Amino acid sequence: MKKLLGLALGILTAIGGFVDIGDLVTNAVVGSRFGLGLVWVTLLGIVGICLFAQMSGRVAAVSGRTTFEIIRERLGPRASASNLAASFLINLMTLTAEVGGIALTLQLASSVHYLAWVPVAAVAVWLVVWRVKFKILENVAGLLGLTLIVFAVALFMLNPDWPQLAGQAAAPTVPEGEEPATYWYYAVALFGAAMTPYEVFFFSSGAVEEKWTVKDLNQSRVNVLVGFPLGGLLSIAIAGCAAVVLLPAQIGVTSLSQVVLPVAQAGGKLALAFVLVGILAATFGAALETTLSSGYTLAQYFGWSWGKFRRPVQAARFHLTMIVGLLIGVAVLMTGVDPVQVTEYSVVFSAIALPLTYIPILIIANDPEYMGERVNGRTTNLLGTVFLVVILAAAVAAVPLMIVTGAGS
Amino acid sequence: MTGGGKTFDAVLHILDRQVLDVDKLPVTAVDDIELSDLPEGPFPDGTPAPVITNLVAGAVLATRMFGGRPPSSRLKRIAWRHVAELGTVLRLNIHGEDLDLLWTERWVHRHIIGRIPGGSHDPQ
């Protein structure tokens, strides 16, 4: 019974933890412009993140080595230092976007300007990272994030033309008035949002935080393989809501209030309350994950002591990194830069950084010195290699598409 | 290099690996290794092969990437005799606290993290 509860909890947190500010904004933008015409990208991204999150978790559980230690060992100091610089900066950008997301949600709930909420949000994130146990922070954020299911409920309440939605999803076309380049730009963005590298840093470090062993692998596999796809369905529901309400009305998504507009229209104040709690939990959870990831990547590259399972004084440089990361995020937001725009850029830059993270994982997962007999099977390797090609294509296409489309405008 | 009949590749199996102290506390990554001195000029017959004398960490990482070499006095060393086990990590037989190269960790601990309330408690 206890085992079953643990399993349920793991799945639920995986669902709630899947969606972050990047998924929220990108899916709503895409839904409002292309309907469900990019659902295939979300599906592709879900398969990819399942594959590589599971692989990095398995490597961490079997060998005790986390993703960034492996990147350093395999790429050598120079290549991995540039990898670290890129990953750290992009993670910082995502962290900034998530803290901005918390502040924007609080603004929607309270009518107090979001800039007043930014320091509050950052302090709250830091307090949790400083004092709360890993397991608790992971579970609470994940479970509260489940309230985002209200997006799926809202989609049904909006009573959409289902065959039309299915048609958009099954036979994707570039709508009139949109350039093909813009379509592909958002395809890359959506892919980056689903496969953000911090999820893998967090997942593999989390496996060490929770002291996973080979015995925990089955449970983690179920968590990922059931939880992430269900979380991905939430992403599709967000796009679906935008496709039903915003696309016909030609409302572009430039702020968080437009993301939640379809839910408010479908379910009124109660639904709005639910969705705000959900977004708050999702962004807060992701802010915790990205804050921790900033510490994880730097500490693992340099071989510092790290981890929430230690007291802060036993991982001093790790905690200092996270504090500095949060301060930088706050400083960037305080310049008045639009958090929604930071989010949109962060997912595209994530797409560019994807190969840097995923290639070393694939290599180590095949190294018997680390993995013993638990090296990748043939199917996993085949899928992994196919995905590597997709990931490389997305990474290479990202910058040219960004320039050609003026970042999707 | 051979150890117990098993052959190790110093670049592949030692460089950039994580070093843990006797309590499994992470110490550093192996930024470089130091070899025993060789005589100048052509080697006379029977010169012993150089052996690893120290693991090195710290500023040497920058020079390993960009070339050059830091003055010997600036190198932060761990003597090879303290290496107890060579696997996917290097295990030491001493406490990290005794090592000079952890002075930054100690400095941040003492002056910043240790001064924030709650820093020395277990997370709850």
- Inter-chain touch B114–A316, beta carbons under 8 Å: yes
- Inter-chain touch A131–B118, beta carbons under 8 Å: yes
pLDDT of residue B5: 64
* Pairs of CB atoms within 8 A across A/B: 90
Domains of chain B: 2-36+49-115 (2.30.30.240)
Mean pLDDT per 10-residue interval, chain A, length 409 residues: 73 78 94 94 94 90 89 87 92 96 96 96 96 86 86 94 92 86 94 89 88 86 87 94 94 93 94 94 92 95 93 95 98 95 91 89 89 91 95 94 88
Structural domains of chain A, count: 1
- Nearest-Cα distance to chain A for B103, in Å, is 11
Average confidence (pLDDT) over B67-92: 87
- Nearest-Cα distance to chain A for B49, in Å, is 25
Lookup result for tokens 């290479």: A396
More confident residue, B71 or A117: A117
Its ipTM equals: 0.90
- Nearest-Cα distance to chain B for A79, in Å, is 9
From residue A11, give the alpha-carbon distance in Å to each of A7, A135, A336, A382: 6, 14, 37, 26
Q: Is A132 on the interface with B (CB under 8 A)?
A: yes
Q: Which residues contact B69 (CB under 8 A, 6 or more apart)?
A: B60, B63
B15 has a pLDDT exceeding 70: yes
How far is it, in rounded angstroms, from Cα A61 to Cα A82? 27
- Inter-chain touch B17–A73, beta carbons under 8 Å: yes
> For A304, which of B26, B118, B119 is closest by C-beta distance?
B26
According to the 3-state scheme, what is the secondary structure of chain A? CHHHHHHHHHHHHHHHHHCCHHHHHHHHHHHHHHCCCCHHHHHHHHHHHHHHHHHHHHHHHHHCCCHHHHHHHHHHHHHHHHHHHHHHHHHHHHHHHHHHHHHHHHHHHHCCCHHHHHHHHHHHHHHHHHHCCHHHHHHHHHHHHHHHHHHHHHHHHCCCCHHHHHHHHHCCCCCCCCCHHHHHHHHHHHHHHHCCHHHHHHHHHHHHHCCCCHHHHHHHHHHHHHHHHHHHHHHHHHHHHHHHHHHHHCCCCCCHHHHHHHHHHHHHHHHHHHHHHHHHHHHHHHHHHHHHHHHHHHHHHHCCCCCCCCCHHHHHHHHHHHHHHHHHHHHHHHCCCCHHHHHHHHHHHHHHHHHHHHHHHHHHCCCHHHHCCCCCCHHHHHHHHHHHHHHHHHHHHHHHHHHHHCCCC
**A308 interaction partners in chain B (CB closer than 8 Å):** 123
Rg (CA), chain A: 20
- Inter-chain touch A303–B64, beta carbons under 8 Å: no
How far is it, in rounded angstroms, from Cα A389 to Cα A393? 6
How far is it, in rounded angstroms, from Cα A45 to Cα A39? 10
pTM of the model: 0.93
Domain of A241, in residue numbers: 2-171+178-405
B52 has a pLDDT exceeding 80: yes
Strands (E), chain B: 2-3, 6-7, 18-20, 26-29, 32-35, 52-57, 76-79, 83-86, 89-92
- Inter-chain touch A133–B28, beta carbons under 8 Å: no
pLDDT of residue A409: 77
> For A302, which of B17, B29, B124 is closest by C-beta distance?
B29
**B26 interaction partners in chain A (CB closer than 8 Å):** 299, 303-306
- Inter-chain touch A320–B112, beta carbons under 8 Å: yes
Nearest to A42 by CA among A24, A58, A56: A24
B3 has a pLDDT exceeding 50: no
Helix (H) or strand (E) holding B100: none
Residue A162 belongs to a domain with what CATH number? 1.20.1740.10
- Nearest-Cα distance to chain B for A371, in Å, is 10
How is residue A388 written in tokens?
Answer: 């590597």
Please name the residue of chain B whose CA is at the shortest distance from the CA of residue A323.
B113
B1 has a pLDDT exceeding 50: no
More confident residue, B123 or A94: A94
**B25 interaction partners in chain A (CB closer than 8 Å):** 305, 314
> For A311, which of B27, B112, B121 is closest by C-beta distance?
B121
Instruction: Note which residues in 365-394 of chain A have CB less than 8 A from chain B.
Output: 369-370
Instruction: Note which residues in 305-364 of chain A have CB less than 8 A from chain B.
Output: 305-306, 308-309, 311-314, 316-317, 319-320
> For B65, which of A78, A134, A317 is closest by C-beta distance?
A78
Output the furthest CA–CA distance in chain B (Å, rounded): 65
